[in-house]
Amino acid sequence: MKNEFTHYILLAKRLSLSLIIFALCRLVFLIYNYHYFSSYPTSTLISTFLYGLRFDISTVFYLNMVIYILHILPFNFRNKKWYQRLLLVIFVAFNTVALTFEMGDTANYKFAHKRLTSEFFGVLGDFNDQLLSYLITFWYFIVICILVIYGIAKLYNYLTELKEDGVQKTHYQILLMIPAGVFFIIGARGGFQSRAISPITALKYVDAPLSPMVYNTCFSLGTSYEYRHLEETNYFVDEKAKDQFFTQERCYAKEGQPLKKMNVVVIILESFSRYFVQSLSHEPETCTPFLDSLIQSKTCYVAANAYANARHSHEGNAAILTSVPSLMLDPFMTSIYQQDKAISFAGILKKYGYQSSYFHAAKNGSMALDKFTQSVGFDAYYGKNEYPDQSDFDGNWGIYDDKFFPFFAYQLNSFREPFVATVFSVSAHFPFSLTPENRAKFPEDPSKDPELPLIRYTDNVLRDFFRRVKKEPWYSNTLFVISADHTYDELSNHPTYLSKFSIPILFFAPGDSGLKEPFNFPVQQVDIMPSILDYLHLPDSFKCFGHSIFDANAPRYAFNFEQGLYQLTEDDALIQFNGIEAIGFYDLRTDPFQKRNLIGSNDPRIEQLSKRIKAVIQTYNHAMLNDKIM
């Protein structure tokens, strides 16, 4: 009878080897990204390995499904050497792919601040352009992959060699397939519960910032496909009750005040965290002397607590241009809802005689921004192809910013007023390319983050740009908006789940001395479009997901989403919501670093913020599912 279990014992040993791979990956992930988790005690970090075992087991079953099936087939050719060699090849191949994704995502975490999801395949073309730079920079992960796979293959042969050449009884083997199948389903689903585990399940064990330590990249990637489709929610049965907490309808018409036909220039900065701007972060050293001086000017309206609605560039662009946040796993412009009609502030202003253009120094087609901006109402797109001197290409992403921004300024001078123009910088992005001249001007400090020279460089690019355009006749009749697309690496000593979204947002109108007024309430990227239209006194009503910062009666909050977790900050508090219930609540006045979860307390803000985020989700899902964004 013992002979009947031979292949099941081999299967258990081989699946255990796969589990070892994921345990090693989690260890490497922790060591390489320790900065993000260093505030947690050692005991808590160790516990993530135990909690992570549940997610690893689920991943191992799915990853090795073919191996699993080939082991339990009720045929005696399983004992043949050729069959066992085939199993070895399949095992090594599938686990090598998994290990490659795990190691690659370990390196990428400092840029994305989250585990990989299916959205990766929507920007695969951009990734392929940077692949060589990634391989050169992170060569040591390649070495780790080779060593781990070599070691696992050796252990596979040593521990799981088929030492018996016996014959199994077919009818026994068929019977054993039944419990084997049940066991597979339980393992793959992560237990006996009614719903299979997902990344949000990690929040039952740890705080949100630690959740990427619990589940692995392959698990995140695989489950993200399952959750790509939104569902109608019914948190509020009464639409009027929902509208008390959130509605898309906006109207900023002002009686007796016609549309101000001012130009609008929006500057979107790549990977620009609030941390870099001393005026906002109060760090002892500044990387942005020009932005700091602009913030101190008499015509700048700056948000001291501004947040991104996204973690990636194409998501950030959608939020800024169209006031559509990223509240699902896939970016709007590459999701299954990308055919939904949306409109930007450029499209809304078109009927009032505005001409519009979008500038991005990257290769045309990058992140599908050329098609997206055209679809939401921009008249023209200027990318790498439209730039006159291709020798200024950085060899990776696009034209160097210090070359492209003068081109942007030159084109602005040729536009008929009033105009809308947006420019999106590229240089402050891995692999952080600079010309030798600028590399000498903005040297890298080996003890500090490699992006800091690029931040100083970008700040200088802005200085030169404003120096060029301030002499032009259209300058004083222009509203400038500066925002980041998303944050970069969290370099502060106290990184939090909220600080992962902290960015600078400022409004600058050189011809309006009444604009100077710093404000401390939460502001988000989706507030930019309604703020622009309010500032211009747009007489029409429209739909959006933000509020004007100039509307004194508007509620003040910011929300974002990451891998199943919604969060909203309002009234000096932060709520975290998993789609079913609130799982985190923090008083930011007494606990700015979010160490004490007060979800079980009697704070009345818990109910208020819960209803707010539920109203936002219900509105968002309904709009996406029914093409009612605009």
User: Token match 């007494």: residue?
Assistant: 590
pLDDT value for 124: 60
What HEC string does 567-594 produce?
Answer: EEEECCEEEEECCCCEEEEEECCCCCCC
Q: Region 19-32: what's the mean pLDDT?
A: 95
| Greater model confidence, 562 or 356 | 356
pLDDT band at 110 (very low <50, low <70, confident <90, very high): confident
pLDDT band at 126 (very low <50, low <70, confident <90, very high): low
Whether 435 and 267 have beta carbons less than 8 Å apart is answered as no
Of the chain, the percentage scoring pLDDT greater than 90 comes to 60
Both tokens of 78, joined, read 């399983």
Of the listed ranges 84-93, 403-412, 451-460, the least confidently predicted one is: 451-460
Among candidates 143, 56, 60, which has minimal Cα distance to 100?
143
Considering the segment(s) 271-330+342-625 as one domain, its CATH architecture is 3-Layer(aba) Sandwich (3.40)
* pLDDT one-digit tens code per residue, 30-64: 999 988 888 889 999 999 999 999 999 999 999 99
Q: Region 283-292: what's the mean pLDDT?
A: 86
Does position 449 have pLDDT exceeding 60, yes or no? yes
| Greater model confidence, 515 or 363 | 363
Q: Region 188-217: what's the mean pLDDT?
A: 88
d(CA 315, CA 367): 10
What HEC string does 63-100 produce?
Answer: HCHHHHHHHHCCCHHHHCHHHHHHHHHHHHHHHHHHHH
Does position 518 have pLDDT exceeding 70, yes or no? no
**Identity at 295, one-letter amino acid code:** I
d(CA 204, CA 583): 8
Q: Region 303-311: what's the mean pLDDT?
A: 90
Handedness of CA 349, 351, 353, 357 (dihedral sign): positive
Q: Region 426-443: what's the mean pLDDT?
A: 82
d(CA 481, CA 505): 7
pLDDT value for 224: 77
d(CA 38, CA 43): 12
Q: Which residues of 457-471 are buried (b: 16+ CB within 10 A; e: fewer)?
A: bbbbbbbebbebbee
pLDDT value for 255: 83
* pLDDT one-digit tens code per residue, 530-552: 999 999 999 999 999 999 999 98
Q: Give the helix/strand (H/E) hosting 358.
A: strand 355-360
E strand spans, 494-546 = 502-508, 519-524, 541-543
Q: Of the ranges 75-84, 197-206, 363-372, 456-465, which is most confident? A: 456-465
Does position 129 have pLDDT exceeding 90, yes or no? no
* pLDDT one-digit tens code per residue, 469-497: 999 999 999 999 999 998 876 555 567 77
**Identity at 175, one-letter amino acid code:** L
pLDDT value for 396: 82
Q: Region 297-312: what's the mean pLDDT?
A: 88
Does position 183 have pLDDT exceeding 70, yes or no? yes
The ranges assigned to domains in the chain are: 2-226, 271-330+342-625
pLDDT value for 514: 73
Output the average pLDDT for the chain: 89
* pLDDT one-digit tens code per residue, 66-76: 999 999 888 88
Q: Region 171-193: what's the mean pLDDT?
A: 89
Q: Of the ranges 290-304, 428-442, 443-457, 505-519, which is most confident? A: 290-304
